[in-house]
Every structure is written in structure tokens, then in C-alpha cells.
Amino acid sequence: MACGYVYFITPYKIVPGGVFGISIVIHYLSKGVFAFAPDGLPVGTMGLILNIPLTIIGVRMLGPRFGIKNSFGFFITSAFIDLLTYFWGDQPLVENDPLLSAIFGAVLIGFGLGLIFKSKATSGGSDIIAMIIRKYTNMPLGQLLIYVDSVIVLVGLIAFRD
């Protein structure tokens, strides 16, 4: 999953939704703002910072069993995103082809999410928000995930004007 974000998605400012989509927006908007992070706040670290309060809320509303696997999933994903970014940088693996990069990134992220979901965990973020909304409404989880992620993609659209 981290390879999809670092090698294909983040360099082209593609916002796929979820907490890591918000983290990509924050990464690019914070370039040159902070002296301790002149290249922008790291995507993985921002994902971790955003996922911690969401997980705490999720544990309180969905139960403690939910928190352990969820925490492990987003912590490992965040760590690998920052580790790969440290060694690779912000260069895309596929130069001058954002569409092909989006396809490869989506396949890798989807494969990684499939492995996480197969172990009955989540990668945090929009999954938690959708699960909480589902608890109080009768809407299907898939439909809620689309709504939540669509809002995040629209934030990216507004932030990058693209």
C-alpha cells in the first residue's frame, strides 16, 4: 500500500480519499511553511496524527476490539510511507504519465487494502468515519465510504485547483 502512495500517487498530487488523501493535501500545502519540514509535512506522519484521534473515537463508539487491529494497520502503513519517502523522495516512478501512475497506484493501494481487510483490520481514516455514521443510520457501509471519500477528493480539488 505504501509503495502505491510513494511511487505513484503522492508525486502527482492525486488525492485518493481517506486519511492519506488528506495527508497528501496537507503535505503539499505545507511546503515551505515550517522550518522543521521545508519539503512539507510527511504524508505518513500526518496520516498517523489524523488516525490517532479517529481511532480513539472509533474505540469509544465501536468497541475496544476494533482499536487493536486498526492501530496496527495504520501505524505500519504510516511508517512504511515515510520510510519509502525518505529513501525514494518525491520523484514519481512513472515520469510524465499521471494516468498510468494513477492506475498503478490504485492497484497497489487496492492490493494492500485487500490484505489489511482480509486480516479483519482497517487502515483507519474514512473507514472509521463511515462505520460510526453507519451505527446511527441504516445506510450501507459501501455507500457511506463513497460519500466520505468523495468529500476528501473534493477537498483535494479545491486545494490543488486541478
Can you give the three-state secondary structure of 71-133, one letter per residue? HHHHHHHHHHHHHHHHHHCCCCCCCCCHHHHHHHHHHHHHHHHHHHHHCCCCCCCHHHHHHHH
The pLDDT tens digits for 40-67 are 999 999 999 999 998 888 888 877 777 7
User: Can you give the pLDDT at residue 24?
Assistant: 95
Choose from 56-60, 73-77, 124-128, 155-159 the range with maximum mean pLDDT: 155-159
> How confident is the prediction for the chain on average, in pLDDT?
89
The residues, ordered by sequence, that sit 6+ positions from 94 with a Cβ below 8 Å of its Cβ are 8, 100, 101, 104
pLDDT reading at 81 higher than 90: yes
The model's pTM: 0.90
Confidence label for 162 from pLDDT (cuts 50, 70 and 90): confident
Which residue's C-alpha cell is 487493536? Answer: 68
pLDDT reading at 123 higher than 90: no
Stretch 74-84: mean pLDDT: 92
Stretch 137-152: mean pLDDT: 89
Percent pLDDT > 70 in the chain is: 99
User: Can you give the pLDDT at residue 100?
Assistant: 96
Give the residue with greater pLDDT, 114 vs 26.
Answer: 26
